[in-house]
Structure 1
Amino acid sequence: MKPQFSSSQSAKATRTALRAQVRDARRCISDKEQHSFAATATQLILAELTKLEAKHVALYLTNDGELDTQPLIRALWEQGVNLYLPRLHPFTKGNLLFFAYTPETALVENKLKILEPVLDISKMILPHQLDAVVTPLVAFDNTGGRMGMGGGFYDRTLANWQKIGKPYPIGFAHDCQQVQSLPSEHWDVPLPMIVTPTRVLKF
């Protein structure tokens, strides 16, 4: 059964303030630093994906100052790894679908102003068929807690990953996105691994 999402006003206020603070810090990273950080983080996460023997990997296209995934995308294509991008579910609010992503994939902008693959069921993969999901995040804490944008998309996608062992979730973020602790709810799915430009954190 998929988790239901609700929250108290106080928790919402705390989360909103944290999101604003961390997103501001992320946006202040210079282009030069972004390039350097992405290069080092890519090497770290590539080593982890190799250990996992991941052949089907979902990831995201960078938005709003996130750690750039383009170097990772290029490297995984070169290694022959099958890549997938999320798309907002057209009928079920708050859920994601995943579609194959190649250099020829046509992309469209969704209602969140994020590029996603066009709807082509022949190129869709189910979450449990993925080996790993590289997840975007706004903030993370010392226990692997993850805070996203508040829509619950990845929490729903990953709700059962521990029961079946797939897809293995890996957070990908700047070091400045770490906070000491995050307000958590019962539906929040903690991450077993988070990769930053300087560290591989395992929980």
Structure 2
Amino acid sequence: MLNRAQLRIEIRNRRQQLSAQAQQDAAIGLVRQLLPCAEVLAAQHIALYLSNDSEIDTTALIQALWQAGKTLYLPILHPFCAGYLIFQHYQPTTPLVPNRFGIPEPKLNCAELLPVQQLDLIFTPLVAFDSLGQRLGMGGGFYDRTLSQLAANHRCRLIGLAHDCQQVPQLPVEPWDQPLHAVATGSRLLRF
């Protein structure tokens, strides 16, 4: 089994080799998989992210969720608690600024923040996932640390978004890893 660093390199390379057409097809398929799904239908406050580094494109999903009347939130690197995320209301007019990794995030507006415990659904990015619902992120631990604030019986659902090529047979798991309830790709929705 490859270690976590090796897996990140291998799976990111797979993802980056996808054609523009494959990326577009996956983004459209993602909307088809998620809009009728029970977790999305039941949710009002949904956190997601803006795609980066050949991640499955969330642009069409964002538009579809807005059209469905959902309230969306984007992650922001926590300004005072290093290694954590906070979530801010996201609308078409929300000003975005690059964070220290160059990823666009909302310009901080404390009046627009929602505690993670009040989110109904969080769509997470990932580098790799397995059939047990484990996710491998970029290695910074931002999502794992932030999601650890949710109690095991909390109602918030966690769904990873990925390309099919990001699935691996089994991920090496660490005690701090936060498992997902489901993973959605352009072709399927896997529940765990």
Shared fold (TM-score, shorter chain, > 0.5): yes
| CA–CA separation in structure 2 for the residues paired with 1:51 and 1:155 | 22
| CA–CA separation in structure 1 for the residues paired with 2:114 and 2:57 | 24
1:94, distance to aligned residue in structure 2 (A):
0.5
Match of 2:68 among 57, 60, 79: 79
Query: Under a length normalisation based on structure 2, what TM-score does the superposition of the two structures give?
Result: 0.95
Residue 119 of structure 1: aligned partner: 108
Query: Under a length normalisation based on structure 1, what TM-score does the superposition of the two structures give?
Result: 0.90
Match of 2:89 among 94, 100, 113: 100
Q: Is the 8 A contact 1:138 1:147 kept in 2?
A: yes
Matched-pair identity in %? 47
| CA–CA separation in structure 1 for the residues paired with 2:39 and 2:108 | 30
1:50, distance to aligned residue in structure 2 (A):
5.5
Deviation string 1:39-98 (CA, Å, 9 cap, x unpaired) is: 011111122256551000000000000000000000011111000000000111100010
| CA–CA separation in structure 1 for the residues paired with 2:70 and 2:78 | 24
1:167, distance to aligned residue in structure 2 (A):
2.2
Correspondence list, 1:1-203, <5 A: 14-48=3-37, 52-203=41-192
5+ long unaligned stretches in structure 2: none
Name the CA shift for 1:62/1:18 in 2 (closer, same or farther; >3 Å): same
Instruction: Tell me the C-alpha RMSD between the 2 structures.
Output: 1.5
Segments of 4+ moved more than 6 angstroms: none
Name the CA shift for 1:171/1:121 in 2 (closer, same or farther; >3 Å): same
1:166, distance to aligned residue in structure 2 (A):
3.4
